[in-house]
Copies of this chain bind each other. A is one copy, B any other.
Amino acid sequence: MEELVNYILQFGNLNRQQIDFITGKAKTLELHKDEYFSEAGKIPRSVGFILEGVVRFCYYNNKGEEITHSFVDENNFVSDQQRFEAQVVASEYIQAVTDCKLLVFSKKDWDEIGNTIVGWDAITGLILKNCLLKTIERRSPLVSEDATTRYLSFIEQFPGLVNRIPLSYVASYLGMTQQSLSRIRKNVR
């Protein structure tokens, strides 16, 4: 819970009472590897904050290939935020790629926090902007790099992650086949 509070306080000031109000709404949720936090075709039910584990955002392209477009690890918010706010069905999946422990907020509780705490919308707005920028900064360079460079920058950006999750997910995130990734890993060693 402390991690969540520290995270939020980076983006704005809150007093003890406000913090307690927020943390009072958080429920813990455990997800097993491969379970979904949010699914395409369903309305996202909650906003999460990852205490332990890693999740990925993924979707299927028109060839039926599964594309991982981002990973989120410990001490970060995870949510299909636009769809959650609007309460409309999602078009992508958020899936646990390791066992996870999360703090979650229901839509009702999330709205109550917004209606109670002045400045909460500004804080969450900043958090979302931050997450989006991070996603862009991580993903955008992948377009112009060759496969080996993409793999090396993945290792830098997500230290240790490559040892915790299936390589097929890494390959799909990096836009290459599993076989190419395997070959690259051999050459890099």
State the majority secondary structure of interface residues on A.
helix
**A116 at the B interface (CB under 8 A):** no
Residue in contact with A132 in the complex, picked from B65, B67, B126, B133, CB distance below 8 Å:
B133
Task: Report whether B129 and A174 are in contact in the complex, using a CB–CB cutoff of 8 Å.
Answer: no
Chain A residues touching B, range: 20 to 34
**Residue of A65, A122, A139 ringed by the most chain B CB atoms within 10 A:** A139
1/0 contact trace for A101-133 toward B, CB 8 Å?
A: 000000000000000000001100110110011
Residue in contact with A139 in the complex, picked from B82, B128, B129, B139, CB distance below 8 Å:
B139
The answer for the CA separation of A132 and B136 in the assembled complex, in Å, is: 8
Whole-angstrom distance between the Cβ of A56 and the nearest chain B Cβ: 13
**Residue of A82, A122, A125, A174 ringed by the most chain B CB atoms within 10 A:** A125
Residue in contact with A129 in the complex, picked from B132, B172, B175, CB distance below 8 Å:
B132
List the interface of chain A (C-beta within 8 A of B). 61, 65, 67, 69, 82, 121-122, 125-126, 128-129, 132-133, 135-136, 139-145, 172-175
